[in-house]
């Protein structure tokens, strides 16, 4: 398994963790009995701040994870893995791991910087995937 696919596997696991954390917090705040209902009625108490942050962090990861995993697969299948795509993959993973506790703790500015770094890494990986395209063939079609 190459670096890009290993990073994609880690992002998939991080995604699972980020699905679980808000669910755990929701059950802590509202109780298992209410959480297991169809939730047709509003909960008796408001959601916690932590639940909101964990949910937003999860949604944020879900916005970029599919692109990252697709690009990691493209780079791998096309045989266009380079040191740049490998580093970009690792930077994306590291920044997404750091992003979660920063968001959960409500850390401003640094969280935004980490998000920007993850986006830059995603763009670098996309550039690596685009270099694998045989543009002469594509433009002939």
Domains and their CATH numbers in the chain: 3-39+46-140 (1.20.120.550)
Q: What is the pTM of this model?
A: 0.92
Q: Mean pLDDT across the stretch 64-70?
A: 98
More confident residue, 131 or 140: 131
- The alpha carbon dihedral of 134, 138, 140, 141 has a sign of positive
The span from the CA of 36 to the CA of 122, in Å, is: 37
Burial class (CB in 10 A: 0-12, 13-18, 19+), 46: exposed
Q: Mean pLDDT across the stretch 78-93?
A: 97
Amino acid 141: pLDDT: 64
More confident residue, 94 or 44: 94
- pLDDT score of 119 more than 90: yes
Residues 6+ apart with CB under 8 A from 88: 121, 122, 124, 125, 128
The span from the CA of 41 to the CA of 61, in Å, is: 29
Amino acid 140: pLDDT: 81
């Amino acid at each position: 398994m190459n670096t890009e696919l290993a990073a994609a596997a880690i992002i998939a696991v991080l995604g699972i963790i980020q699905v679980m954390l808000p669910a755990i917090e929701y059950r802590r705040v509202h109780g298992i009995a209410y959480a297991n209902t169809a939730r047709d009625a509003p909960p008796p108490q408001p959601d916690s701040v932590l639940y909101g942050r964990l949910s937003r962090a999860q949604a944020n990861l879900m916005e970029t994870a599919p692109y990252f995993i697709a690009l990691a697969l493209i780079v791998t299948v096309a045989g266009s893995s380079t040191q740049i795509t490998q580093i970009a993959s690792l930077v994306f993973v590291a920044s997404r791991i750091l992003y979660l506790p920063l968001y959960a703790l409500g850390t401003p500015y640094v969280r935004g910087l980490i998000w920007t770094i993850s986006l830059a890494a995603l763009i670098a990986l996309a550039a690596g995937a685009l270099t694998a395209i045989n543009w002469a063939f594509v433009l002939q079609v």
